[in-house]
Amino acid sequence: MSVTDKSSGNIPGSINLATIRKKLAGTRGREYWKGLEQVAETPEFDEFLHAEFPRLAAMWDRKIDRRTLLKLMGGSVAFAAAGLAGCSRPIGVIVPYVNMPEGEIPGKPMYFATSLTLGGHARGVIAESYTGRPTFVEGNQEHPASLGAIDSYAQASVEQLYDPDRAQVATYRTIPGTWSAFIEQMGFQAAKMKASGGDGFAILTQSITSPSLLAEIRQVQKRFPKARWYRYQPVGREGVDAGAKLAFGERVNTVYHFDKADVIVSLDADFLGLMPGHLAYARQFADGRRQKPGKPIKMNRLYVIAGTPTITGASADHVLPVPSAKIDAVARSLAARLGIGAAGGTTEAQAHWLDAVVEDLKKHYGRAVVVPGDVQPPAVHALAHAINARLGAVGGTVTYTEPLEPDGAGSLKDLTDAIDHNEINRLLVLGGNPVYDAPADLDFAGHYARVEERIYWSHYPNETAYMSYWHVPAAHELESWGDALAYDGTVSLTQPLIAPLYHGHSAYEVLRVVSGANADTDYDVVRGYWRQHYRRYASNGEAFDAFWKRSVQRGLIDNSALPAKTPHLRDDLASRLPQPLFRQRRGLYLQFRPDDSIFDGRFANSAWLQELPRRLTKITWDNVVMLSPRTAERLGIDNKELVVLGYHGREVTGPAWIMPGQPDNAVTVQLGYGRKRAGRLGTGVGFDVYPLRRADAMWFDDGLTLMKTGKRVFLATTQYHQTMEGRGLLRTATLDHFRDHPHWVDEGYPGKPPKLHESLYPEPAEKPPLEYRWAMNIDLSTCIGCEACVIACQAENNIQSVGKEEVLAGHEMHWLRIDRYYSGNMEDPETYFQPVPCMQCENAPCEYVCPVEASVHAEGLNAQVYNRCIGTRDCSQNCPYKVRRFNWFRYQTGRPTSTPVAAENPDVSVRQRGIMEKCTYCIQRINEAKIAADKTDRRIPDGMVETACQRACPTQAISFGDLNTSHSKINQVKDSPLDYEMLAEINTRPRTSYLGGLTNPNPALAKKDKNA
């Protein structure tokens, strides 16, 4: 981390461009960065041995030296020394540039603003690059969809970039071919197509918001008038569009502004977890809940009508568990209470609940908002629009813009129908993995097989690739140019940090080649597009180069967010609403959800994401069948028991998971598992639920049957005990309680640490006073449990993944874990999250038990010196917070789960087998800052050092800083009456403290008294 770069925030644009042009021109990427490595030739070997014993390492890998070593061991040391001092032993090779790129300083990282997309929607990131080797991405503060935060998917992109299982070369019928051969053959066929006007040619894409790529597609359609374009996204938002059409008669893009909202009602919407813009939404939501020093005590209130437990539900003040299928009815009743349409059927309890909610909504006219979930049918969305209009939300808490994606693409169903009518003989699949993730009833694989010419472009040699003729490896987003729209329409630019490692090519190139146009590089295409269209956004009379440089530097095009518009709500909406769904239920409800970690299956081969505990279940490396406790009881199903899901004659078997807060009779399963060709890691993990999915019921349906098998399986969870045993570890209270008892965090909990004189030793034992006293605080009111910090920590600190077996053995390595506790009843419990990093105790119990001073106090922190550790593990035994992690085996290399060496952070040691490791407050960042400050003889300004977890956090729940800097942010936070230290009574004096969690329940529904 270079602080100078970050603080001034300047990311030298032209210089980078120069570098990048060079890179693009450069030879094969791999050698490129490898050649720049300023370490010996085989990094993994070095990292392994050097962590162990430098000289041994230097000797061990060469014959002659192995002999010497044996002599040394054999005992004739003097002889060895005398006899061999003569022969010089090269320590290694050092390889400089031939021509150093401008502005490159070997050993210093560079930062590039770029953006990564998920489901077509862009999140702006800043990518860190060490001598041309991307190692880390973090949020781009200037990007509206990121605001400096990042989600786990984006964080793992670095690992994905170096994934050795990525497609390495273009293949024809799975036989390695060449790019040039591909160009040749495509050119030939394009010529043929030209004659037929592209008859029978079709393109299947995922949702695309990229202006330049859309332009390219239009180009193709212009060149081949008969060519067709289809679009399929397993985690699609058809309901949203249809709902808008229903409500307004036109498609719109809905943008929420939770910072303006006092009352929020979520209709099955996981807007903190994974809606487009969820990072921004999380920030807005958290700002509404955070108690600012000196400001009046107030916070927003969140009601969630949840089809299945999500982190949004966990952060809510009131949750109403309702099967997704019945939320339609609930929504109607809610609307009816506001005078819109007719009520749907609701139970007594629900009715009472709704009355209270509606009261609250009415009370906050103009400051309330209703958020429909992406998985909900059009009717719910339409009603939500109507309700928002009725609540005066439009223009305030909700705004509408033009849709991000244009119309004009057919659905997957249209495609399969077309194939049935033999209208398609040439299909180009741009990304996605339809053979795996298409709804089963469409039998895409079967149809795909019937197409004569199948061309596929993607990252992995996956299920679809296996069925395709031509498979062209895709260039990763960190390897190619591009653009995409953020949730609010902001144009975000993607720039490569490295030449494609595996002969990857961009979608532009493929599209052009397939359509027989000249294969320009993605750089030319994207830049060319914006040269034509930049004037709309350029400040008047700005030259394109200046505009381009500015935009690429910032990773986005300034004020390109789509303007708000006010679509006209249909007056006869109520009458147009379709019949309520599921009047009477057959069997159980089946609900699909994208997975917390691997989304729709595209991240299945990422060890980081697979091992990232699922947000609520804390399960790794598996998906489960979620049942409510009552349902499980009724069906006599045991936790972790294999159950057979029967639906429309298809059957799928998976382990049951009894999920507190799951609505009764609703069974939730996660997409993306049971891959057949995902790669070494993803293949065969979990069970595939796409066979149960139908085009007419993408998200939920009834008619599910559940069958016991009696067989139980092992699920690798990272938390086995779910309640807090009444210990005051995590402290929460209601807002009202806080008003009456400002110091509630200390009341009724085990007390403060003992007085100084009670200790045998003079306290605090300190060397001459420290210049900096680093400390952390975590706000439990705003932590939403999204786990972005966990994976950010993993990426920053070279933490290894270990695989399912090791997690089962209790050997997981995450330095930062998020504890999840339940309280209340099983049906709708309160869910609490508590991130637990190292507490950096001042009286650290782990330190004095270490026999070799591997765990000592350094710079006021609780240091773990890896190269000194011999692995007695007494420190972990004596750590009351159990935040230490041990390398039980050789995890760092040679295992499929090992982090790719190139992705590892050169500023942090890679830990060897047999040593203890733990959170260091990102000491490498602190040291960089200290060095930078020391060179100019000034103190580190407040906020210059950000830990990886702090930076990643979407809600800014984590504050970090120096206690010696007066008025530093951390000092302000720690002055809050809510501040408390975990286990203070055992006198460990932690530097990490917490802000007691606050909730704001509705008095009218006085059940949820969160006062622990």
Residues 847-876 that bind other proteins (CB under 8 A): 847-853, 855-859, 861, 863, 865-874, 876
Using CB under 8 A as the binding rule, the residues of this chain from 622 to 681 that contact other proteins are none
Using CB under 8 A as the binding rule, the residues of this chain from 8 to 37 that contact other proteins are 27, 35
Grouping H, G, I as helix, E, B as strand and the rest as coil, residue 583 is coil
- Which stretch in 359-367, 431-439, 697-705, 840-848 sits in contact with other proteins by CB under 8 A? 840-848
Distances in Å between the Cα of 9 and the Cα atoms of 2, 56, 140, 272 are 11, 43, 10, 28
- Residue 187 CA, chain-centre distance (Å), reads 39
Using CB under 8 A as the binding rule, the residues of this chain from 692 to 731 that contact other proteins are 719-721, 723-727, 729
Residue count (the chain): 1012
- Which stretch in 241-249, 380-388, 565-573, 920-928 sits in contact with other proteins by CB under 8 A? 920-928
Residue number, 24 or 379, with CB nearest to other proteins: 24
In the complex, least distance from residue 983 CB atom to other proteins, rounded to whole angstroms = 6
Instruction: Determine the residue type at 788.
Output: A
In the complex, least distance from residue 915 CB atom to other proteins, rounded to whole angstroms = 6
Token readout for 24 is 């693009």
The contacts of residue 860 (CB under 8 Å, 6+ apart) are: 770, 772, 773, 774, 842, 991
Q: Report the DSSP beta bridge partners of residue 626.
A: 657, 668
**Residue 108 in the binding site for other proteins (CB under 8 A):** yes
Pure H helices in 658-770: 735-740
Pure H helices in 151-254: 152-155, 157-161, 179-196, 211-223, 238-248
* Cβ 595 vs Cβ 671: under 8 Å: yes
What distance in Å separates the CA atoms of residue 427 and residue 205, rounded to the nearest whole number? 11
Which of 179, 469, 582, 889 lies at the binding interface for other proteins (CB under 8 A)? 889
Residue number, 130 or 690, with CB nearest to other proteins: 130
Q: Report the DSSP beta bridge partners of residue 493.
A: 483
In the complex, least distance from residue 907 CB atom to other proteins, rounded to whole angstroms = 7
Residue number, 713 or 852, with CB nearest to other proteins: 852
Which of 337, 693, 885, 974 lies at the binding interface for other proteins (CB under 8 A)? 885
Using CB under 8 A as the binding rule, the residues of this chain from 809 to 838 that contact other proteins are 809-811, 817, 819-821, 834, 836
In the complex, least distance from residue 41 CB atom to other proteins, rounded to whole angstroms = 9
**Residue 607 in the binding site for other proteins (CB under 8 A):** no
- Which stretch in 322-330, 412-420, 735-743, 884-892 sits in contact with other proteins by CB under 8 A? 884-892
* Cβ 150 vs Cβ 279: under 8 Å: yes
**Residue 195 in the binding site for other proteins (CB under 8 A):** no
Q: Is 927 exposed, middle or buried (0-12, 13-18, 19+ CB in 10 A)?
A: middle
Using CB under 8 A as the binding rule, the residues of this chain from 517 to 536 that contact other proteins are none
Q: Report the DSSP beta bridge partners of residue 779.
A: 995
In the complex, least distance from residue 859 CB atom to other proteins, rounded to whole angstroms = 5
**Residue 70 in the binding site for other proteins (CB under 8 A):** no
Which of 66, 89, 752, 1007 lies at the binding interface for other proteins (CB under 8 A)? 89
Which of 306, 419, 923, 952 lies at the binding interface for other proteins (CB under 8 A)? 923
Residue number, 247 or 813, with CB nearest to other proteins: 813
Which of 93, 175, 195, 349 lies at the binding interface for other proteins (CB under 8 A)? 93
Which of 771, 827, 942, 1009 lies at the binding interface for other proteins (CB under 8 A)? 771
Q: Report the DSSP beta bridge partners of residue 789.
A: none
Q: Report the DSSP beta bridge partners of residue 974.
A: none
Using CB under 8 A as the binding rule, the residues of this chain from 928 to 987 that contact other proteins are 931, 934-935, 937, 983, 986
Which of 748, 764, 894, 896 lies at the binding interface for other proteins (CB under 8 A)? 764
What distance in Å separates the CA atoms of residue 381 and residue 147, rounded to the nearest whole number? 27
**Residue 405 in the binding site for other proteins (CB under 8 A):** no
**Residue 615 in the binding site for other proteins (CB under 8 A):** no
Query: What is the DSSP track for 117-176?
Result: EETTEEEEEEEEEETTEEEEEEE-TT-TTTTT---HHHHTHHHHHT-TTS--S-EETTEE
Q: Which one-letter DSSP state was computed for residue 231?
A: E
Residue number, 16 or 924, with CB nearest to other proteins: 924
**Residue 69 in the binding site for other proteins (CB under 8 A):** no
Which of 626, 916, 929, 984 lies at the binding interface for other proteins (CB under 8 A)? 916
- Which stretch in 86-94, 386-394, 480-488, 673-681 sits in contact with other proteins by CB under 8 A? 86-94
Phi–psi pair at 612, nearest 5 degrees = -70, 120
**Residue 795 in the binding site for other proteins (CB under 8 A):** no
Q: At what angle do helices 378-390 and 238-248 cross, to 10 degrees?
A: 50
**Residue 543 in the binding site for other proteins (CB under 8 A):** no
**Residue 499 in the binding site for other proteins (CB under 8 A):** no
Phi–psi pair at 920, nearest 5 degrees = -120, 15
Residue number, 422 or 877, with CB nearest to other proteins: 877
- Residue 830 CA, chain-centre distance (Å), reads 24
In the complex, least distance from residue 997 CB atom to other proteins, rounded to whole angstroms = 16
In the complex, least distance from residue 923 CB atom to other proteins, rounded to whole angstroms = 5
**Residue 566 in the binding site for other proteins (CB under 8 A):** no
Distances in Å between the Cα of 916 and the Cα atoms of 647, 803, 865, 988 are 49, 18, 9, 20
Residue number, 924 or 956, with CB nearest to other proteins: 924
In the complex, least distance from residue 268 CB atom to other proteins, rounded to whole angstroms = 29
Using CB under 8 A as the binding rule, the residues of this chain from 461 to 480 that contact other proteins are none
Residue spans of beta strands (DSSP E) within 465-545: 470-473, 482-485, 491-494
- Please tell me the count of residues contacting other proteins according to CB under 8 A: 131
Helix (H) or strand (E) holding 574: helix 573-576
Instruction: Determine the residue type at 653.
Output: T
What distance in Å separates the CA atoms of residue 601 and residue 235, rounded to the nearest whole number? 10
**Residue 747 in the binding site for other proteins (CB under 8 A):** no
**Residue 44 in the binding site for other proteins (CB under 8 A):** no
In the complex, least distance from residue 517 CB atom to other proteins, rounded to whole angstroms = 31
**Cis geometry, peptide bond prior to residue 764 (ω within 30 degrees of 0):** yes
Grouping H, G, I as helix, E, B as strand and the rest as coil, residue 658 is strand
**Residue 773 in the binding site for other proteins (CB under 8 A):** no
**Residue 580 in the binding site for other proteins (CB under 8 A):** no
- Which stretch in 206-214, 357-365, 544-552, 764-772 sits in contact with other proteins by CB under 8 A? 764-772
What distance in Å separates the CA atoms of residue 47 and residue 178, rounded to the nearest whole number? 35
What distance in Å separates the CA atoms of residue 39 and residue 17, rounded to the nearest whole number? 26
In the complex, least distance from residue 863 CB atom to other proteins, rounded to whole angstroms = 5
